[in-house]
Amino acid sequence: VIMLSIHTTRGADKTLEALSLGAIDFVEKPSGPGNYQAHFKEIREDLLPKLRLLTLEESFLLPKKKTIPFKPLKSVQHKECEVIAIASSTGGPNALTELLPQFVSNVNVGIRIVQHMPPLFTKQFALSLNQKTKYTVHEATAGEPVSPNVILVAPGNYHMAVRNLGIEKKITLHQGPLENGCRPSADVLFRSVAEIYGKQALGIVLTGMGKDGTEGARAMKDQGATIIAQDKDSSVAWGMPRSVIEAELADYVLPLDEIASAVNKMLS
């Protein structure tokens, strides 16, 4: 099931409910006056890649010649960590809803999320997560101080980054060019996390189409950060984690239901 959703609060709520019940993804219905053909083209460009995902699942498999070593959870070591940066797209809302409530809280770690969604949907999604986790969750706002034990979701149509402004770390939002066809883009967030936090950062790349997050993960790895990628079997779309894995940037390749355990071991 793929939802075709109107851009309203009710539309966003119903879409998130449908995703929680098993819909694979959604397409935003064009709003406002406009040419029928233009609206049709807009829907087609968004919908067709999602349909191809259902029919070309084999394209998301790794080549047979490349094997990814699996590191068992017992090998996970304690890590000094100030921030967790998460990238997700298709299948991400359900993955995040399952993952975040399992994270240990009160460990003075902030969590920043780029979930590919349009405006309003990200706000409603953050409100939904806030009711399900021990962390405070809200949509990020420009200029807000970076706080531990808080989860920030990048607002739709805005890139989110962390910057040193004076003596404080603060959130910046901007509408720079699309990256990997996305705004928000995980690469933008990951690059800023690499610059500000260096090795005291953890990156997680979850289910999603495309390759957003790969170059950002490379920047994080170059600074000594740890990267976790979701495995193929538990991903709705394996494009994003696959790209990170093929680039040999993933320290751990884990099914969704083991990622929280690994993170908790690192932070404990």
Which positions are annotated as active-site residues? Answer: 89, 116, 212
Contact in structure between 80 and 200 (CB atoms under 8 Å): yes
Structure tokens at 104: 């240990």
Contact in structure between 82 and 120 (CB atoms under 8 Å): no
- Give the separation between CA 211 and CA 186, rounded to whole angstroms: 10
- Give the separation between CA 127 and CA 264, rounded to whole angstroms: 24
